[in-house]
């Protein structure tokens, strides 16, 4: 089945893509010389310099991308990232609510979360904010009716079918189940975002004392 492509003056969007296909196409597109490559949850946006490429030429290149062999990109998939997460209070603000919605006990929630095969679908909302997806079918997990004015950097939330990782402290409405020790975004690093689209992610449990040791007690 062909994928719908929405075209504009100097960018186009390939729509209705599964997350794994988005990541594979984004990596393959890097070799095609696009000015910007922006993965979405179910789409891939590509932009170009109209002085170097016409709209028709861009669409032809995008169609060639879709028709290409995705097996070549599978071997180039980013290596898995291990994130160290604390599921204890005070970091697991909404663990009771999320566990109940999933039909689990609160004590069973960490094991369920760590057992999923998580993969980064896209980055967005904040610099370095990662939207993770997995193959598990879960009940709907809604936003908080009263969003928090302050969510700690490194907070891990579950919303709908997604796991979200907050790189920066600030307001947020995702139900929070824990906090990771890793820095998700460093503006001074050669590659500021720790994670990238298509990257597998596994969670490894740590206790609150280990979290404090790894983060230096930063809130």
Residues 21 and 107 in one domain: no
Shared domain check, 62 and 19: yes
Q: Tell whether 108 and 36 lie within a shared domain.
A: no
Same domain, yes or no: 45 and 91 = no
Statement: residue 176 has pLDDT above 80: yes
Query: pLDDT per residue over 73-111, tens digit each?
Result: 444 567 899 999 999 999 999 999 999 999 999 999 999
pTM of the model: 0.81
Can you give the CATH number for the domain in which 169 is found?
Answer: 2.40.100.10
- The Cα 123–Cα 52 span in angstroms is 28
Q: How many CB atoms are closer than 10 A to CB 111?
A: 11
CATH code: domain of residue 28: 3.30.1360.40
Residue 147, pLDDT score: 95
Range of weakest confidence among 21-25, 123-127, 205-209: 21-25
pLDDT reported for residue 156: 98
3-state DSSP assignment of residue 81: strand
Q: Which long-range contacts (CB under 8 A, 24 or more apart) does 28-31 make?
A: 28/65, 28/68, 28/70, 28/72, 28/73, 29/65
- Mean pLDDT within 141-158: 96
Domain of 17 in residue numbering reads as 5-74
Last residue of a domain, one of 46, 74, 102: 74
Domain count for the chain, please give it. 2
- Helix %, strand %, coil % of the chain (to 5): 25, 25, 45
* Domain-ending residue, one of 21, 48, 74: 74
What's the pLDDT tens digit per position in 59-73? 999 999 998 844 444
202, 117: one domain: yes
**Among candidate residues 74, 101, 130, the one where a domain is terminated:** 74
DSSP 93: T
Tell me, yes or no, whether 57 and 100 share the same domain. Answer: no
């Amino acid at each position: 089945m062909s994928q719908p492509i929405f075209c504009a003056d100097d960018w186009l969007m390939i729509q209705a893509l599964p997350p794994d296909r988005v990541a594979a196409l984004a990596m393959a597109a890097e070799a095609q010389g696009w000015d910007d490559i922006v993965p979405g949850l179910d789409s891939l946006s590509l932009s170009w310099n109209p002085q170097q490429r016409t709209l028709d030429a861009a669409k032809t290149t995008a169609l060639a991308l879709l028709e290409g062999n995705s097996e070549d990109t599978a071997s180039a998939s980013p290596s898995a990232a291990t994130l160290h997460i604390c599921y204890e209070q005070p970091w697991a603000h909404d663990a009771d609510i999320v566990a109940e919605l999933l039909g689990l006990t609160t004590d069973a929630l960490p094991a369920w979360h760590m057992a999923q095969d998580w993969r980064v679908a896209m980055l967005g909302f904040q610099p370095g904010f990662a939207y993770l997806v997995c193959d598990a079918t879960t009940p709907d997990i809604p936003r908080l009716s009263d969003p928090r004015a302050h969510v700690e950097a490194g907070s891990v939330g579950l919303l709908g079918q997604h796991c979200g990782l907050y790189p920066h402290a600030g307001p947020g409405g995702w139900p929070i189940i824990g906090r990771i020790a890793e820095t998700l975004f460093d503006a001074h690093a050669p590659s500021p975002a720790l994670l990238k689209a298509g990257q597998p992610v596994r969670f490894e449990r740590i206790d609150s004392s280990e979290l404090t040791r790894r983060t230096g007690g930063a809130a």
